[in-house]
Structure 1
Amino acid sequence: MVLTNEDVVDLVAFRRKLHRTPELSRQEAQTARDVRAFLAATRPDQIMTGLGGYGIAAVYEGRQPGPTVMVRAELDGLPIEEISDLPYRSAIPGKAHLCGHDGHMAILAGLARALGRQRPQRGRAILMFQPAEEDGSGAAAVVADPRFREISPDFAFALHNLPGLPFGKAALAEGPVSCASRGMRVVLNGKTAHASMPETGISPVPVVAELMPALTALGRGGPMDDGFSMVTITHAKIGEPAFGVAPARAEIWATLRTLTDAGMEDLCVSAEHLVLNAAREKELSAEISYDDIFAHCENAPEAVAHLRRALDEESVPYDRGDLPMRASEDFGRFGQRAPAAMFFLGAGENHPSLHNPDYDFPDDLIGIGVRVFMRTLRNLLG
């Protein structure tokens, strides 16, 4: 038995405590303190804090040399108001754990309980609580932290709960499983004019009207293969809220999405070319910047094989499901450093979707996640 009944009660309470106090990307100070306090009680051989921001890594050493295996969860919540009557609903207005990161942390907390009782026979188990997953900056910051060299995993694993998939069923596949994406911000600048004489200014309005459908058309859509791409306009602003002024400035925000990182480079080149040419024709200046940059998530065959074995041995049903998925996941950065794999664990076919205001992580997934990861660790480390 990996978890006792008392463990399950404690882990559910811990998850709900985290749910009540969500923090946004790069602001997870209290969450990190709560996680560290829980981990300390399991007596890890080392707790590393402040990794890439508020990241935490708990290290459990084996008695003999062997591989280093890392399992990752995320610390951050979302800037969304929770709509819920739950007694443990978010106590922070405008912020909520509506992606299940509270549940993912509880799963790693369960692993900490088990590893605290019985260390691996060889190598090291690393429990990584990553900051800033939601904006795509956290994994890159953790990997760039000089102390990450002390971790240097030989394998990295993660999961994400997935509404729409039958409860307790897993989706797992080799190759790309989630898309590369980035937020493109376009700022256009011209010259203001009196609204009665717009011809004396340089307005960005015609270029905005041209670019929004043209950028969207760059996305090929279609099947989820190497040629897949998508561009979604997410925000636009023109001028100031005044009736007497023809505008000079405009912004367009678009999310660019491709199945692979190589495809993203090509899509960015095409989008930038389109913007700069349209601006030049209308004598506007254009500034282009990027935020929320996610690498695509690639499941390595050798890492997938270890998860498949664990799922089989724990009698958790699985298939490839609808993978790869359009959404993005910051775990891909770790896959650039070591063979890595993420599986998706069903939250229920009719469960509210991720990022919906009424979403809540199903507590009964905690035990399943702990069992699969603990079996993976025992198979690799003894």
Structure 2
Amino acid sequence: MIDILLVEDDPFTRKMMEDMLKLMGFNYASVPNGKEAVEFVKKEEPVLILMDISMPVMNGIEATREIKAMGRGSIIIMLTAFGDEKAMSEAANAGADDFILKPVDFNIMKSRIETAIIAEKFFEQKKSMLKNFEELKELNEKKIEELTEENFNLTFELLQKLAIVSEFRDQETYEHTQRVSEISGFIAKEYGKDMEFVFLVKRSAPLHDIGKIGIRDSILLKPGKLTEEEYNEMKKHVEIGKNILSGSNTKVLKTAEVVAYYHHERWDGTGYPERLKGTEIPIEARIVCLADSIDAMFSKRPYKEAKEESFVKEELLRNKSTQFDPDLVDIVLSNWEFIKSFYRK
């Protein structure tokens, strides 16, 4: 079975991407235009299709529309130039599942492909379980528990992959998301929230910056201060994150949507995107905002060195009741040794 069908008209780009897919260990096939892609899918259904948009004979949008009309389950990721919003909108309406910007960053491409395949595996398993529900009822209780646990673990593997994709361009992605998760859960627990809330915050916190997928590297990793135009573009990541996570029926992703959209609001009402103030800001977003800020200060980034402990404490006190919920800052400072334990060498 073919894992990936590459649809790219430019011979040089196609050969380069074929070489990369081979190195990544994927079983792939390639065609030079949308018409041949449609004919290929009629005979064989790949797990994922990497589809260029602008091609002769039949473009990627038309091909996507025809493939989706066949009822095929292949995930379609469009390859598009940055800023071509009209083409991306048309591709989405045609049924595209995701997009990757050109020129392609192969590390990001690999991660996005792996995430899409995990998602496909999860939804196929879910569909299969629903279809065979009557048969499952006849299984013994132990077997049902094993299947449920496997499905549960697969869901959170997908969430973890999404979190890594969102900040793939940072070297300490996994460690960063884990620390923000643990610190957020701890703050929620000390704040008096029940165990379900603590669980939801821990699982959703790593997805707070999922919208960074749509922000250019030149802005995200810029070593100097952002221009006003760049800062305005950076702020769009909360809206992008909300759109990615919206529409789910799961409590974790509903919580993650709230966190992604509101975690840059400030206690004094000067944040974004809605300029909410005080307790108008959802508590889960206030918690993750503080946990993420602590980790950002303690961590080395491409554009800055890690800050000393004294600096972090001073910043928390200075921004108490302006950026941060004062009650949450008090919880952190009252449990400083625990917080600091995450950053011991």
Fold shared by both chains (TM-score > 0.5): no
Could you tell me the TM-score, scaled by structure 1's length? 0.24
Of structures 1 and 2, the one with the larger relative CO (CA 8 A, separation 6+) is: 1
More helix by share: 2
- What's the TM-score once normalised by structure 2's chain length? 0.26
